[in-house]
Structure 1
Amino acid sequence: MATSAAPRRWVVRAVLLGVATISGVTAAAIGALALPEVLAVTGLSDPGPFTTYGLSFVRAAGEIAAVVAIGHFLFAAFLVPPQASGVLDVDGYRALRVGGAACAVWAVCAALLVALTVSDVSGVPLTELTPLDIWSAADLVETSAAWRTTSLLAAFVAVASLTVLRWSWTPALLAGGLVTLMPLAVTGHSSSGGSHDIATNSLLIHVFAGALWAGGLFALLGHALRRGGHTDVAARRFSGLALWCFAAMAVSGFVNAAVRIDVSNMLDSSYGLLVVGKVTALAGLGVIGWRQRRSSIVALQRDPTARRPLLRLALTEAALFGVAIGVAVGLGRTPPPPATREPLPAEVALGFDLAEPPTIARVFFEWRFDLIFGTAAVVMAGIYLAAVYRLSRRGSPWSTRRTVSWVIGCLALLFATSSGLGMYMAAMFSMHAVAQLMLTIVVPVLLVQGAPVTLALKALRAADPHGVPGPREWLVSALNSSLLRFIAHPWTALTLLVVGVYGLCFEVVFDAAVSEHAPHMLMIGYFLLSGALFFTAVGGVEPVVPRPMPRRGRIAMLLFALSQFVIAGVVVMNMREVLGGAFYRSLKLSWHADLLSDQRLGGQVIAAGGLVAVLAVIAVQIVQRRRSTAIEQMTTTASLGS
């Protein structure tokens, strides 16, 4: 048994190494061809062949390693079942170990790329740089600093994977693997110039979808080569995921390319030709994926041991993925066509211009769709309505009130991030205050009242007791996890909410949150998450908190939390220093000169919003008390009459 397993392991390693080689050679060739154009644009000297070829090759090979890690964490988490005890089965454990090793390789490649990037940007050959030169220059170059962060994150995930034996922690490793891609996704071509907000968001979607698709394929291919169990289940689940990833990559890739280059002049530059090559590779991958669904998946459903069609197409698809990733790395090394005009200061900082001051009409009718949170709002509404429809077809109706609450919450999220409010939020403290109240209080309250967890538990079918666990079992496992119990505990949720309320009162925190696109998006996500956790913990609507607090305790905690908005608003109103002043002044908006008055207005908005929320809670409690008193009186009267 052991002697037959060892050769299969070497076959898997040879396949992955071959894909990495294909990707690296493709990227290195494109990087060498683009070198004259790069030197002409930057005015730097040639750093030498070692850097020219090595940077592209190591980056492509490293990204293959990252994709392999993410795919194997995905495989262990969702494509093959664990044991009944929750401990990973042999297939899941093997995938976890491969993912950890690949993450370690990703960390090493990222560390090498720190030195190669310094050499490339400085124009000094790598052999002439000392470790001290590289260390001192790493902080001065955005890309090398991003590579250093990536190396540290990947090393942390690799070490963390060594301690995992139970299934419940594998989704966290998957999330950690995806996080290692973020530092590079928010730097480079997409992070600068006009419309960089759209470019960065579309690139994040593109990179994450591509990593899940390619990584899942590599993991499935290795599993089939090793003749692992449940190949039919893993292939069926991956097929559905791959379809959604293909759609996400196609849409996000088109949006990103349209921001960087005029589609009508696509064939007039090296950058455009590489985009065409990448589109061609994506189309080829789509065709192969379609063939997989039509032949390989069908064959496996008929006979779980019929792996030959899957292996034949998957090997071709893996090689094409290697080429596509190599082209993508080469695309990142190639300068995009120059802009037709010099962007305005606001466009450089925000990605868009705000030539006119906000009005009611502009706030409500000027829209700029947020690809991250706007898409999330649309997808959440669609999934929720689909679950309600599934229940109705079973003859199990769902509360109309909860459905309306969820849909309005999704619309509120869409409005807060994609309307004029979302645009002016990035440039004005007063608009930031309005958006913060919506994202921390209004949207979470509406979404929590929709009871999405309860709906999911009813809509998702339970797996057969002796069958393979599915989405419902994953959800139940997540609800029973110690991590969720900790962060959803009322006191933990209250702490997270209060940290968000007062954290932005500190100048250093607020400046970091508004001056860059990535921290700005993280800030919005924090508002939503902290609000959702808190109102879930005190609302008692969802089965997330094992031991809900007594009603009076929940009301007291709710009033305390909302009163913090009033206090924070008063603190901001009395500040003499402008939060984010340097960033706001850099926008050079002629209509937005009195920053301190706008900040005081924002403090008034926060205080007033918190006060209204407190009064609303008190009013609801009075109404509920009167209603319960009336019911008790009616019950007493009826009992006396009988």
Structure 2
Amino acid sequence: MLVVTAGVLAALVAAALTALSGSDAYALLGLPDPGPVTKYGLPVVRVLAETGAVVCIGSLLLASFGIPAQRGGSLTADGYAAVRTAGWAAAVWFAGAALMVPFLAADATGRGVSEVLSADVLFGLLDALEEVKAWGLSALIVFVVALLCRIVLSWGWTTVAFGAALLGLFPVIATGHSASGGAHDMATNSLLFHLFGATLWVGGLVALLAHGARGGAHLPLVARRFSRIALAAWIAMALSGVVNSLVRVTPEQLVTTTYGVLVLVKVVALVALGAFGYAQRSKVVQRLAGGAGRGALLRLGAVEVLTMFATIGVAVALGRTPPPAESGPTPGRTELLIGYPLPEPPDALNLLFTGRFDLVWGTLALALAVFYLLGVRRLRARGDAWPVGRTAAWLLGCLTILAATSSGIGRYAPAVFSVHMGQHMLLSMLAPVFLVLAGPTSLALRVFKPAGKEHPPGAREWLLAFLHSPITRVLTNPFVALGLFVGSFYALYFSGLFDLALPQHWAHIAMNAHFLLVGYVFYWPVIGIDPAPRQLPSMGKLGLVFASMPFHAFFGVVLMMSQNVIGENFYRSLDLPWMTDLLADQQLGGGLAWASGEVPLVVVMLALLIQWSRADYRAARRIDRKADADGEADLAAYNEMLRRLAGNDGSAAGGSGAGGSSAEDSGAAGSGAADSGAGDVRATGSSAEAPGEEGAREDSSAGTDRGN
């Protein structure tokens, strides 16, 4: 009931603010007025879709990482109830997203909704308008989420549904005001953080209140977990909101334009919500831990949810109001297509020193470095050691990601094929090598404490479940990893897929994610410090590396020999004056792809040799420690065997000798020979046991050193 009330409130706020602020939007953009049904119905339908998205994602968030699952991985009754709620919300989300298609088509063409419901007209507009296409794609993804919510019973598949629900937001975020005009790369990236943070925060709170209203178990634990998520989401929203606003409005436009005033209203509401919510949640969590009832949580949540959904209404109205920048000077062609101008060619100085910070991948690289260092610090604070080399490897991997996406390489990569290919090689063949050598999973498993049998599963148990999941086992299969690693080169560049992806900013984000993840999956079982679900023998690791080399080299050769320019239409549309020979640039990219494979190969081979050497050393140390513990029992048994063999040989020789010595003399002689032989083994080390004894003495001295 609370969600319905909040959704109605958000719809009313959106419609009212649209009436006040958006009445001149069509004239400002040079579009015909589509009529009141489309004008005021569109924000209402969008609120319907976003309300369903918020409740669906929040419920799946709580079912995945808030409400504890059973030890076997099955959902509890509370978790299953949250998934069923997510299923109903996904149905509402799907209905809203499907309705957005005709409403947006009518809005873009200045027609009534009934005029675009013809199949021919609607499908034509669906193909022509990116925002209409985005909502249609979102509707398809959400339909799958709704089906999953009806059938899942396990924690693992619930997390899959949660990931798919987050993916359902992605196409819509990549369209709209932030995906067009100047600096749309910054605007879109900041909007990713902003909307994902808002959805997790609002949706998680709704799900928490529903869990409390049902009288669900582990309420203090669930509230504490959500409070941490909410704080992180609010920080992400605040920072990304500032960036997004600065891209769209200047400081003076915040008070002189309708769009700027709405931005201020939204910022004030979010700041007030963040401060109020965090303070009150902290108190409620403490009271719940002390045994208080759920009434305090419900009272707090009701006010916060109503205010949050009113803020959603403001956001929807903000999306219906043209930013001031759209009514200003038209950006240049290059800036319109990639988000910023490129007046100079990509020489060495520009590639190194004229960077443009990537809010997605630059932030990820910095966050990964910080979290790893915090983990190492926690280990050392409790007296545990962590190899410095692993920390250095991780920082080098993060630095490689940062350089590939936020230096001049990242700045020129969307516009120059050869630079893009260099970025591809850095993300898929160099950064993963450093990352897998750092052992991040081993570090996390040592940092996170086991939950214990009497406590609900926590972060350590979630990580272990992922490592042993069927998805991880399939991806780390050597044939699958090899196919993804080398096959993606050919599938992306020679199938026309790269040509379709070039104009889309979200596609560049997806490509970078693919390069990095596929490289990590390939190198993890080969040289990774972390134990992989599928352990390969030493020769298998070497064979996997060498198997990839001819495919990679052939890919570079094909690019250098090809006479067809990949992505020619897009590169020519940029109209860069210094880019005159696209074929030569592509051949340069092919040369980079062919030559760059040698550097990671050297690093991989060096890492394999070091790992094999250390493995042999550890095996020898284990043998030596065993010898110290049992008093060299294996050596004594071996020498006893030599004595017996020597005695048998001596007896046979004495029995057939010319002097006809007695059996006792022969036995004595045999015994003496055996003693002599044994003495030779220990003294000269001529037998296979000699290195073992030398290793035992070495380990004994090493043990003395350790004791000292």
TM > 0.5 between the two?
A: yes
8 Å CA contact retained: 2:185, 2:505: yes
Percent identity reads 40
Counterpart CA distance in 2 for 1:402 and 1:620 is 12
Do structure 1's residue 469 and structure 2's residue 481 form an aligned pair? no
> Residues 615 and 322 from structure 1, CA distance in 2 versus in 1: closer, same or farther, beyond 3 angstroms?
closer
Amino acid at match of 1:215: G
> Residues 478 and 508 from structure 1, CA distance in 2 versus in 1: closer, same or farther, beyond 3 angstroms?
same
8 Å CA contact retained: 1:278, 1:328: yes
Superimposed CA distance per residue, residues 617-642 of structure 1 (whole angstroms, 9 cap, x where no aligned partner): 55666788899999999998755879
Superimposed CA distance per residue, residues 477-508 of structure 1 (whole angstroms, 9 cap, x where no aligned partner): 11121112112222211111112222233161
Aligned to 1:3: none
- Equivalent residue for 1:342, pick from 326, 330, 336: 330
Aligned to 2:544: 557
> Residues 264 and 474 from structure 1, CA distance in 2 versus in 1: closer, same or farther, beyond 3 angstroms?
same
Q: How does 1:43-442 map to 2 (within 5 A)?
A: 43-132=30-119, 133-303=121-291, 305-338=292-325, 340-442=328-430
Aligned to 1:7: none
> Residues 469 and 439 from structure 1, CA distance in 2 versus in 1: closer, same or farther, beyond 3 angstroms?
same
Counterpart CA distance in 1 for 2:483 and 2:340 is 35
8 Å CA contact retained: 1:563, 1:610: no
Amino acid at match of 1:567: F
Aligned to 2:637: none
Counterpart CA distance in 2 for 1:20 and 1:188 is 22
Alpha-carbon deviation of 1:226?
1.7
Superimposed CA distance per residue, residues 16-63 of structure 1 (whole angstroms, 9 cap, x where no aligned partner): 101110111111112222343212123333222221221111101210
Superimposed CA distance per residue, residues 191-233 of structure 1 (whole angstroms, 9 cap, x where no aligned partner): 0111100100000111111111111000001111222111111
Counterpart CA distance in 2 for 1:530 and 1:227 is 44
Counterpart CA distance in 2 for 1:594 and 1:417 is 25
What SS is found at the alignment partner of 1:565? helix
8 Å CA contact retained: 1:110, 1:150: yes
Alpha-carbon deviation of 1:80?
0.8
Aligned length: 627
Superimposed CA distance per residue, residues 127-152 of structure 1 (whole angstroms, 9 cap, x where no aligned partner): 34433232332222222111111111
Counterpart CA distance in 2 for 1:337 and 1:614 is 52
Aligned to 1:452: 440
Superimposed CA distance per residue, residues 100-159 of structure 1 (whole angstroms, 9 cap, x where no aligned partner): 110111001111111111121222222344332323322222221111111111111101
Counterpart CA distance in 1 for 2:329 and 2:109 is 28
Counterpart CA distance in 2 for 1:76 and 1:32 is 39
8 Å CA contact retained: 1:72, 1:219: yes
> Residues 200 and 111 from structure 1, CA distance in 2 versus in 1: closer, same or farther, beyond 3 angstroms?
same
Counterpart CA distance in 2 for 1:301 and 1:269 is 48
Amino acid at match of 2:21: A
Amino acid at match of 1:265: Q
Counterpart CA distance in 1 for 2:550 and 2:244 is 43
Counterpart CA distance in 2 for 1:73 and 1:629 is 47
8 Å CA contact retained: 1:507, 1:580: no
Alpha-carbon deviation of 1:254?
0.5
Gaps of 5+ in 2: 621-684, 698-708
Alpha-carbon deviation of 1:265?
2.1
What SS is found at the alignment partner of 1:180? helix
Counterpart CA distance in 2 for 1:577 and 1:492 is 30
Counterpart CA distance in 2 for 1:349 and 1:637 is 73
Counterpart CA distance in 1 for 2:419 and 2:53 is 39
Counterpart CA distance in 2 for 1:624 and 1:232 is 46
Amino acid at match of 2:32: S
Counterpart CA distance in 2 for 1:559 and 1:95 is 48
Compare 146-155 and 44-53 and name the one that shifted more.
44-53
> Residues 464 and 448 from structure 1, CA distance in 2 versus in 1: closer, same or farther, beyond 3 angstroms?
same
Aligned to 1:9: none
Alpha-carbon deviation of 1:561?
1.5
What SS is found at the alignment partner of 1:306? coil
Aligned to 2:673: none
Aligned to 2:532: 544
Q: CA RMSD in A?
A: 2.2
Do structure 1's residue 479 and structure 2's residue 501 form an aligned pair? no
What SS is found at the alignment partner of 2:352? helix
Amino acid at match of 1:44: L
> Residues 334 and 464 from structure 1, CA distance in 2 versus in 1: closer, same or farther, beyond 3 angstroms?
same
8 Å CA contact retained: 2:429, 2:597: no
Q: Choose between structure 1 and 2 for higher RCO, CA contacts under 8 A separated by at least 6 residues.
A: 1
Aligned to 1:597: 584
Superimposed CA distance per residue, residues 425-453 of structure 1 (whole angstroms, 9 cap, x where no aligned partner): 11111111211111001100000101000
Superimposed CA distance per residue, residues 285-338 of structure 1 (whole angstroms, 9 cap, x where no aligned partner): 1122122234211111111x4222221111111001111111111111101113
Counterpart CA distance in 2 for 1:473 and 1:602 is 44
Do structure 1's residue 523 and structure 2's residue 501 form an aligned pair? no
Compare 130-139 and 364-373 and name the one that shifted more.
130-139
8 Å CA contact retained: 2:433, 2:600: no
Alpha-carbon deviation of 1:544?
3.0
- Equivalent residue for 2:571, pick from 570, 579, 584: 584
Counterpart CA distance in 2 for 1:630 and 1:259 is 58
Amino acid at match of 1:39: Y
Superimposed CA distance per residue, residues 247-296 of structure 1 (whole angstroms, 9 cap, x where no aligned partner): 00000000001001102321111111110111011012112212223421
8 Å CA contact retained: 2:248, 2:325: no
Aligned to 1:504: 492
TM-score by length of 1: 0.94
Alpha-carbon deviation of 1:597?
0.7
Counterpart CA distance in 1 for 2:287 and 2:588 is 65
8 Å CA contact retained: 1:292, 1:310: no
Aligned to 1:24: 11
Counterpart CA distance in 2 for 1:290 and 1:554 is 50
> Residues 618 and 539 from structure 1, CA distance in 2 versus in 1: closer, same or farther, beyond 3 angstroms?
closer
Counterpart CA distance in 1 for 2:431 and 2:611 is 23
Compare 560-569 and 396-405 and name the one that shifted more.
560-569
> Residues 562 and 226 from structure 1, CA distance in 2 versus in 1: closer, same or farther, beyond 3 angstroms?
same
- Equivalent residue for 2:25, pick from 38, 46, 53: 38
Counterpart CA distance in 2 for 1:147 and 1:404 is 44
8 Å CA contact retained: 2:556, 2:592: yes
8 Å CA contact retained: 2:436, 2:528: no
8 Å CA contact retained: 2:220, 2:288: yes
Do structure 1's residue 514 and structure 2's residue 513 form an aligned pair? no
Amino acid at match of 1:457: L
TM-score by length of 2: 0.85
8 Å CA contact retained: 1:76, 1:95: yes
